[in-house]
Amino acid sequence: MTDQGRVLVVDDNEMNRDLLSRRLQRQGHIIVMAENGQEALEKLRSQPFDLVLLDVMMPVMNGYQLLETLKADPDLRHIPVIMISALDDLDSVVRCIELGAEDYLFKPFNPTLLKARIGVSLEKKRLRDQEQAYLQRIQNEQEKSERLLLNVLPKPIADRLKQGQNTIADNFSEVTVLFGDIVNFTQLSVSMSPADLVELLNQIFSTFDQLVAQHELEKIKTIGDAYLAVGGLPLPRPNHAEAVANLALAMQEAIGQFSVPTASGEEKPLAMRIGIHTGAVGAGVIGTTKFAYDLWGDTVNTASRMESQGLPGKIQVTEVTYRLLKDKYCFEERGIVDIKGKGEMRTYFLCP
């Protein structure tokens, strides 16, 4: 174990400073000197030190004042301080120890004792630094795990899991569900390599993710080239339908920025079908490994049908959603449509 360190020697007596410095340099320490507490404080705030050897009686700022200032500073309080003073009264020793000094030696000091005290102080400093570095690594890993968890689950759900709730399942009386799907993406992407295909989808969905965050909604998942988002959960909000409508309009605008190469070498712009429905859903964490926050219920199925039986470039909504939005948005009535699994439904297109 090495006992070398970077030591600040603080004493207003030049002879004392030189004596200490030469002795410590022979022991392998790096020495910096200061004539008073104020000069020492400036050096401490501008460069790192492992130990301070501090005289008590000094002009400008004495040892008591410097010691008190150091121990009150969160960035400096961890540096050990050994007092070396001609004051050999018990009150001075007690005062320094109470202010946070590591040790107190009387002048003239015993060189062997000083070396031992310095070695112990430096070792304690190194152990503390190692502990702080370890704690910082733990904190960094915890923050990384937190970010990963929040990439999978909404924050309120993640918080409930961390509090020990093993089963999370909630009913929501009214939310608005959005399904989006890229039109003919499978056929259009035949000429693309798997790497290029994944990169394109990543760019598209990353753009959608930003829009979801911007409108304070929840992305639930992607399925191939389909995208599922919802408004009104896990925290209810009164304007969920409006927020989802705004998201849908923004997604239709964003998809126009992307294209795929055709066999002839030309770029074909992408288009989306989007379906929206409002109603009750169940939501919760599914699975114990590779778990996910998911939705279920007729509302989800109906929103999916609005998308799958919609038209390219259009946002198709049910009559329920239309009634919530008709006074604030422009709609085009599509009319009665035979929806698979649902029968005849009156639907509307949300206009840009």
**Considering the domain boundaries, does residue 149 fall inside one?**
no
Fill in the DSSP letter of residue 351.
P
Handedness of CA 207, 210, 215, 219 (dihedral sign): positive
Strand ranges (DSSP E) for 90-245? Answer: 103-106, 169-182, 218-223, 226-231
Instruction: Give the structural domain span for 197.
Output: 155-350
From first to last of the 352 residues of the chain, give the pLDDT tens digit: 346 889 999 999 999 999 889 999 998 999 999 999 999 999 999 999 999 999 999 988 999 999 999 999 999 999 999 999 888 788 999 999 999 999 999 888 888 888 888 888 888 888 888 898 898 898 888 888 777 777 777 788 877 777 777 778 889 999 999 999 999 887 777 777 888 888 989 999 999 999 999 999 999 998 888 999 999 999 899 999 999 999 999 999 999 999 887 766 677 889 999 999 999 999 888 777 777 888 999 999 999 999 999 999 999 999 999 999 999 999 999 989 888 888 889 999 999 8
Are 164 and 295 in a shared domain? yes
Pair 67, 101: CB distance under 8 Å? yes
The answer, as to whether pTM is greater than 0.75, is no
Q: What burial class does residue 204 get, using C-beta atoms within 10 Å of its C-beta: 0-12 exposed, 13-18 middle, 19+ buried?
A: buried
Are 165 and 281 in a shared domain? yes
Q: Which residues of 219-245 are buried (b: 16+ CB within 10 A; e: fewer)?
A: bbebeebbbbbbbbbbeeeeebbbbbb
Are 135 and 244 in a shared domain? no
Please tell me the predicted confidence (pLDDT) of residue 140. Answer: 86
Please tell me the predicted confidence (pLDDT) of residue 351. Answer: 92
Closest CA to 180 of 234, 219, 210, 150: 219
Final residue belonging to a domain, choices 144, 165, 180: 144
Please tell me the predicted confidence (pLDDT) of residue 1. Answer: 39
CA distance 63 to 66: 5
Q: Assign residue 10 the CATH number of its domain.
A: 3.40.50.2300
Q: Which residues of 275-297 are buried (b: 16+ CB within 10 A; e: fewer)?
A: bbbbbebebbbeeeeeeebbbeb
Are 224 and 340 in a shared domain? yes
Q: Assign residue 308 the CATH number of its domain.
A: 3.30.70.1230
β-pair type (259-261, 292-296): unpaired
Are 139 and 171 in a shared domain? no
